[in-house]
Structures are given as C-alpha cells and as structure tokens.
C-alpha cells in the first residue's frame, strides 16, 4: 500500500470517525487529496474541473464546526470530500455535460445532488469526468482526457460515471456521486473495482427541471465499501440512517435467481467474467441462500423500445443549434435517430418499456434477488469501443460490453455492482445483484453480507495493487 500519512485512503466513514476523534480534520484531508489529484489525475482522467479554492474554504469552515459545541449534532458525512458528476449543474462552476458544445457553460443554479451534498456538509472538490451528455458507456470526452481504471491505465474506467469511479478507485476521493440511466454507475464500478449502487426509481427525488420522462436515470453512490455507499445514498435520498442501518443487519435466507445469458447483444461473456459469476453463486449458497437458474426477462423487442427512448432522450438535450457541429459523431447519430421517431412511435416505445418492466417483475416475483455479471467483458481498452467513423458500430460495441445493466433501469429496480472477482491479470470484475423496486434496504444488507464474506484484514475486497498505488 502507498504511504498515507494523512489517512486520506480511509473509507468515508472511517474519516468521519477520525474527525470526531481529532486525529485529522477536513483541511488536512482536502489538502492531501488535492495534492493526490495534482499528482495522479493526469494518469486517470477523473476530473474535468477541480475547485480547489472553494474546497479549501469549505474545509476550513467544516473544521471549525467539528471543533464547535454542536459537533455531535452534525450529519454523519460532514466534512467528507466528494465530487459531483459533470452532468450535475453547479451554480457558478463550469458544467460541460462532457461536451465541447457546453465547454464554457456556468449554471446559475445547483442540481439536486449538489444541494443534497452541500446540505450534508460534504465538500466537493470539483466535477468528475463524463462522456458527452452521459450517453456512451466509456468516458472519452472532448473536454478532458479519457477516464481510466487505476488497475490498468490502458483500459477505460467505463461510463458514464467514469470520472467518479476513477477518482474513488485512485484514492482521489473517498466517495463520489454518479448517475445511472442504463448502467452508468455499475459499469464504472465494475471496471474500477468499486461498489456502485443504483437505487429504486424515485428514491432520490429531483426537481421538476430534473424529471426524466423515461424513468431510466437515477443518482447514486460509488464507494470502496458498502457502508460508504449506504451513507452517501442516505445523503442523496434524505432517508436518515435507514440504508446505513441495513449494513448492520443480516438479510436472512434469500431466494436468488440467476442468469448469465446476455439480454442485449449476442457476444458470449468473457470466461473470466463467467468464472467470477460462478464464484459469486457459490458464495451465496455458502451464505445460506438458495440460488436458482432462470431465463433473462425479455428479448430483442424490448431492446428496440429502449433504444428508441434512449435516442429521443439524446435528441431532447437542449444543444444550441449553432453548437450542434461541436457534438461527437455518436451523439449526432443518436440525436438524428431520436428526431426521426414520431410522437406515436415514442409513446409506443415507452409503453413497451413499461410492459417489459411489468413482465420482469412478474418473472422474478418468487425471488428476493437476481444475480448476473455486471459486464459482459473485462474493462475495455481505451478507444476500443469508440468508433467515430461508424457510430452504429460504436453503439453495437457498447451493447456487447454491457448486456445486463439496463434491465434494472427499465424495471425501476435497485441494483448493485460488487467487486467480487479479479482476472488473472489483476483486473476487477463486478457481479451484480438486483432486488424488487423499494427493496433497497434488503439489497444493501445482502451486499454488506457479501462484502464481509470477502473481507481480508485492512481491505474488504482483497484487491491487488493498482498501477497508481491507489488502494
């Protein structure tokens, strides 16, 4: 492990406890993390914008509050550093949406995630890297270097919360806020060896301006531990300690359905991905759960409906006409297809998704959880999915890379990627658990049980050394 004199590689909750024991303080931690960002971010591509001055000012205020007479009344993650995905509007701070078309945009109001993080007393160090409009499952925008997994700097961090995942995995942040419309938290969590939790649709309510008509996208946490993910989700969802308390409760004996056949695309999963999936299945049985093979919940007809809704969503992004030419070829291709869909076709696609949601929930009604791989493949080499000359091929490659995650966006159900596997080359492999809508507490309890079963002294996930010496 690398030298860590300031304790900044501790979990968020461990840092919070250290604050209250006066072993460190937010000023020391923020300064140390900013130094790590300066030293390592050129390698991992985690940030688009670093707000060092604002973070230092917030850290000084947090330090004073933690030393004050009301310190015991402060929120659990008060003074803990984090960052906001560059899809989240932040008042007075550049927000690019991962696009050259918005390279100079400075919003005048905060999005919900920014408001919740500030209300909890957390300290944002800036805006994390994301692909253009959050559309691809790789993070290689025009406004920042590619986001890379610290476990192999030739490979991407995934997307669209790739910068958030790279930052946490490289020890630049203890926790980070992501968002997930088709896997955008869980994909980078798998690529970067993290816990990535997509909550139930509606658990984190947004403002009227943030409503997603498709019902696909939700904010959520990326973290190194399940407890940290639960604590950050409590901040975002305003649920008090309900999800955090779930980490201390055994889930009981559960019925777990499982499948590994790709839901979208027909590329077989990588053998090492399947090995991790089988190992996770054996672990669940060892923990006392019943594991049953099932079929995927739907087929190509639902995938086509999802794509129509996705493309219309891309087309609805308010890009100024005079800046359309600054968009990437993939984005323009998706927007053209979205504009080509009639209102009737869009309504039919939305209906088909809702019907698929109902079929999915009915198919797995007898089970408490569903297990799949998170991704179909190992973390993808930087540039290997992107194809500016053929956006259709680009989109097809993305589907083959991530054939499982969007099921749970369609279903509105909670899902978590856990870093339960490692390839022979030391690359992280995630496995995914999903639950019924509203069963976030039970899912968090099971995730914590799995983490505990995988624990080794000083490290809950037995992770190998990273190239940047991160964790």
Instruction: Kindly tell me the sign of the dihedral angle through the C-alpha atoms of 458, 461, 465, 466.
Output: negative
For residue 209, give every residue at least 6 positions away whose Cβ sits within 8 Å of its Cβ, in sequence order, or none. none
Rounded Cα gap, residues 190 and 68, in angstroms: 40
With 0-12 / 13-18 / 19 or more C-beta atoms within 10 angstroms meaning exposed / middle / buried, residue 403 is buried
Angle at 85 between CA 89 and CA 13, to 5 degrees: 120
Rounded Cα gap, residues 162 and 418, in angstroms: 16
Q: Measuring CA to CA, which residue among 298, 204, 300, 224 is closest to residue 459?
A: 224
For residue 160, say if its preceding peptide bond is cis, omega within 30 degrees of 0.
yes
Exposed e or buried b per residue across 272-301, where buried means at least 16 C-beta atoms within 10 angstroms of its C-beta? bbbebbeebbebbeebebebeebebbbeee
Residue 215, phi-psi category: left (phi > 0), alpha (psi -120 to 50), beta (remainder): left
Active site residue 127: no
Active site residue 286: no
Exactly one of 11, 85, 198, 406 is catalytic; name it: 85
Asked if residues 369 and 435 have their Cβ atoms less than 8 Å apart, the reply is yes
Exactly one of 11, 28, 161, 184 is catalytic; name it: 184
- The terminus-to-terminus CA distance of the chain in angstroms comes to 7
Active site residue 184: yes
Rounded Cα gap, residues 377 and 302, in angstroms: 22
Asked if residues 251 and 288 have their Cβ atoms less than 8 Å apart, the reply is no
Rounded Cα gap, residues 415 and 393, in angstroms: 28
Exactly one of 28, 99, 124, 160 is catalytic; name it: 160
Active site residues: 85, 160, 184
């Amino acid at each position: 492990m690398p030298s860590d004199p300031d304790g900044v590689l501790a979990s968020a909750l461990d840092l919070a406890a250290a604050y209250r024991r006066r072993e460190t303080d937010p000023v020391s931690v923020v300064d140390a993390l900013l130094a790590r960002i300066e030293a390592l971010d050129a390698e991992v591509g985690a940030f688009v914008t670093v707000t060092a001055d604002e973070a230092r000012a917030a850290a000084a205020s947090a330090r004073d509050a933690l030393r004050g007479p009301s310190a015991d009344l402060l929120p659990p993650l008060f003074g803990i550093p984090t960052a906001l995905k560059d899809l989240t509007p932040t008042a007075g701070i550049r927000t690019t949406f991962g696009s050259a078309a918005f390279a100079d945009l400075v919003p005048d109001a905060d999005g919900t995630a920014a408001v919740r993080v500030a209300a909890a007393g957390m300290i944002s160090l800036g805006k994390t890297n994301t692909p253009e409009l959050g559309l691809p499952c790789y993070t290689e925008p025009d406004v920042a270097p590619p986001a890379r997994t610290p476990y192999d700097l030739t490979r991407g961090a995934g997307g669209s919360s790739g910068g958030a995942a790279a930052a946490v995995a490289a020890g630049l942040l203890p926790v980070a806020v992501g968002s997930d419309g088709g896997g955008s938290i869980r994909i980078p969590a798998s690529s970067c060896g993290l816990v990535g939790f997509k909550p139930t649709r509606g658990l984190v309510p947004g403002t009227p301006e943030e409503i997603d008509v498709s019902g696909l996208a939700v904010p959520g946490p990326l973290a190194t531990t399940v407890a940290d993910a639960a604590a950050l989700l409590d901040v975002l969802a305003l649920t008090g300690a309900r999800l955090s308390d779930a980490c201390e409760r055994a889930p009981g004996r559960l019925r777990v359905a499982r499948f590994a056949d790709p839901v979208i695309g027909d590329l077989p999963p990588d053998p090492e991905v399947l090995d991790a999936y089988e190992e996770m299945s054996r672990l669940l049985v060892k923990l006392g759960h019943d594991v049953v093979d099932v079929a995927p919940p739907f087929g190509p007809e639902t995938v086509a409906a999802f794509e129509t809704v996705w493309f219309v969503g891309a087309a609805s992004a308010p890009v100024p006409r005079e800046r359309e030419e600054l968009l990437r070829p993939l984005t323009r291709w998706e927007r053209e297809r979205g504009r080509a869909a009639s209102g009737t076709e869009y309504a039919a696609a939305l209906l088909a998704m809702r019907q698929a949601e109902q079929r999915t929930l009915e198919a797995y009604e007898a089970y408490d959880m569903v297990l799949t791989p998170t991704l179909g493949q190992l973390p993808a080499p930087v540039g290997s999915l992107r194809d500016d000359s053929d956006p259709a091929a680009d989109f097809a490659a993305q589907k083959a890379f991530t054939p499982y995650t969007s099921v749970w966006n369609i279903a509105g159900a909670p899902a978590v990627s856990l870093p339960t596997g490692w390839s022979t080359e030391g690359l992280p492999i995630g496995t995914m658990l999903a639950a019924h809508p509203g069963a976030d507490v039970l899912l968090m309890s099971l995730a914590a049980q799995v983490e505990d079963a995988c624990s080794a002294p000083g490290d809950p996930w037995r992770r190998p050394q990273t190239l940047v010496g991160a964790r």
